Structure formats: C-alpha cells, structure tokens
C-alpha cells in the first residue's frame, strides 16, 4: 500500500523539522528549529516550498540575512524577518 497525500505531507513536515534542527551550526539550529516548532504545522504547500528552499541556503549567507548584515532576496524577505523573532544568538 502506498502512502496517501496526507501522510506524504506529514512526512515532509517531519523531514523539514529535522533539517531545521540539524543545520550544523548551533545558532542556526536554534533559530530555524524554534521557527519550525512554531510554524511548520501551519504552513501550506507554497510556504513549505519556500522554507525548504531557505534550508538549502548556505549557513554563512543565511546567518547574515537573519542578523541583518545582508539583505535576503525578495522571495525570502518575509520569512527571514519572521526568523529574526526567534532567538538563537546570531
């Protein structure tokens, strides 16, 4: 028996949650993990796509965006601003 769409969506959320908490740098783990804890369950498919793309960004660049040292591309601006509300020491 194959998994249905609801199970596939749950598995995707679980996978993204794990990736958010296991970035490799503790500061980003804390920021992204806490954001994932609070927001993943409420995201629709488009927001999940955006978060997944954000997780693919290199750590130094993502840290600069979150800390305000560099401006993120417009497509990430809103989500990066939301990330800035989750403490992590960046």
**Comparison of pLDDT for 45 and 6, the residue scoring more:** 45
Question: Average pLDDT, whole number, for the chain?
Answer: 91
Out of 1.10.150.250, 1.10.8.80, 3.30.350.10, 3.40.190.150, the CATH code matching 9-83 is 1.10.150.250
Written in H, E and C, the secondary structure of the chain is: CCCCHHHHHHHHHHHHHHHHHCCCCHHHHHHHHHHHHHHHHHCCHHHHHHHHHHHCCCHHHHHHHHHCCCCCCHHHHHHHHHHCCCCCCC
Average pLDDT in the 15-20 region? 97
pTM attached to this predicted model: 0.88
């Amino acid at each position: 028996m194959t998994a249905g769409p609801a199970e596939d969506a749950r598995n995707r959320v679980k996978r993204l949650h794990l990736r958010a908490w296991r970035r490799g740098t503790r500061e980003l783990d804390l920021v992204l993990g806490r954001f994932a804890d609070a927001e993943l369950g409420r995201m629709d498919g488009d927001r999940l796509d955006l978060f997944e793309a954000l997780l693919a960004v290199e750590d130094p660049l993502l840290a600069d965006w979150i800390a305000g040292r560099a401006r993120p591309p417009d497509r990430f601006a809103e989500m990066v601003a939301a990330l800035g509300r989750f403490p992590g020491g960046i």
